[in-house]
Structure 1
Amino acid sequence: MTPPNNASNYPLLARPHIQLHGTVDGLMYANFQGQMANAPTEGALVVSITTLGGDPEMGRAMGDDIRLLREYTGRETLFLGKVAVYSAGATFMSAFPVDKRFLTRGTRLMLHERQMHSQLSLDGALTALPAVLKAKLHEIEESIVIQEEGFRAIVAGSRVPFETLRERATSNWYIEAEEARDLGLVLDVI
């Protein structure tokens, strides 16, 4: 049996004004800014993304641009996730209210903890080493705060408790489009 097609209920989603794909990084951010500058200035703005992830700070930066546009102009912004919205893509998605988020059929979300790849070298005078250790600990602690802010934004307005996301994210939580809709993480699947 073919699943119901809700696309006709959301005609604006058929032609996104901004289409992003690939790694979330500085190049995607520059592409995003260029497409934003060339997008129509009136009516709802539709942004689509397909990504296996990337730099969460670039996802946050793009999301901040969307938030500022919405707050300063009152303009409606719609999110359309296509095929894969992993990691930093979900961070970007969190900038849109849940009732403005959509996924195409077969799309997967993937939510996980932030990653750190770092080496710590303790080399030098003993009196200087505690500061090196404290600095690394502060970096980790602040990264956890930022991660939890992002988790709260992803689940705000959904039926997913923050604690559930925090627990499931430790082992890469993959969520199919229909499950995301049923959990209230997105409004609908088209």
Structure 2
Amino acid sequence: MTDQDRQTAASKYPLLAHPHIQLHGTVDDMMYARFKTQLAEAPVDGPLVVSLTTLGGDPEMGRAMGDDIQLLRDYTGRETLFLGKVAVYSAGATFMAAFPVEKRFLTRGTRLMLHERLMSSSVQLSGPLTTLPAVLKAKLHEIEESIKIQEEGFREIVRGSSVSFEELCEKAPSNWYIEAEEARSRGLVLDII
């Protein structure tokens, strides 16, 4: 992409030059608090632009911010735009999934990283034998529910793109890195600026 091509792409989307909400760092409860503060301070009319740079974090905080965006869109009809900058990894991609593909943008050189949810846990078995199956069943239910949530997120991130749910499921276990150009050509984002 030449400098002129970049200028042309950027001139098509002037609102992206000045995001109302600018988030960077780990997706966690502190980012969620910054998100809520900036959302409250943003203009109430016109499109809302959110930019994000992150190496990942807590997927539930990504989902919570995404829910706020979806509720805003559903209840007010307000247009919401996503701008990924430099890195949109893991929980950042979970947040990006809350925006329809035609409302997603990346800056040149940005990379997405999609992967499976991670769990680190141990099961302590101690007590009467008749109580132990319940402990194991509870852990199994936690894993099964986490897989359902993961699959819901995978379906959202690929909805409207040429990437199939099955392809994402195949590539996610080994951390799928997607450069901005590929993300655009596969329809995961509308454009690169």
Tell me which interval the TM-score lies in, with the shorter structure as reference length: over 0.9
How many Å separate the matches in 1 of 2:12 and 2:177?
A: 27
SS at match of 2:171: helix
Q: Does 1:52 align with 2:62?
A: no
After TM superposition, the structure 1 stretch with the greater mean CA deviation from structure 2, 1-10 or 58-67, is 1-10
How many Å separate the matches in 2 of 1:2 and 1:126?
A: 69
Q: Aligned to 1:84, which of 77, 84, 87?
A: 87
2:97 match: 94
Structure 1 consecutive aligned stretches of length 4 or more whose deviation exceeds 3 Å:
none
How many Å separate the matches in 2 of 1:158 and 1:20?
A: 25
1:36 match: 39
SS at match of 1:154: helix
Give how far 1:28 is off: 0.1
After TM superposition, the structure 1 stretch with the greater mean CA deviation from structure 2, 3-12 or 150-159, is 3-12
Query: 1:115-172: CA deviations, max 9, x gaps?
Result: 0011111111110000000000000000000000000000000000100001100100
How many Å separate the matches in 1 of 2:38 and 2:169?
A: 33
How many Å separate the matches in 2 of 1:115 and 1:151?
A: 14
Query: 1:47-75: CA deviations, max 9, x gaps?
Result: 00000000000000000000000000000
Aligned residues: 190
How many Å separate the matches in 1 of 2:30 and 2:53?
A: 15
Query: 1:27-46: CA deviations, max 9, x gaps?
Result: 00000000000000000000
Q: Aligned to 1:185, which of 183, 188, 191?
A: 188
Q: Does 1:146 align with 2:136?
A: no
| Unaligned segments of structure 2, at least 5 residues | none
1:174 match: 177
TM-score normalised over the length of structure 2: 0.97
How many Å separate the matches in 1 of 2:191 and 2:121?
A: 39
State percent identity of aligned pairs: 78
Q: Aligned to 2:70, which of 45, 60, 67?
A: 67
How many Å separate the matches in 1 of 2:181 and 2:14?
A: 20
1:126 match: 129
TM-score normalised over the length of structure 1: 0.99
Q: CA RMSD in A?
A: 0.7
SS at match of 2:162: coil
Give how far 1:2 is off: 2.5
**Amino acid aligned to 1:15:** H
SS at match of 1:20: strand
Q: Does 1:23 align with 2:26?
A: yes
2:138 match: 135
Q: Aligned to 1:161, which of 151, 164, 177?
A: 164
2:2 match: 2
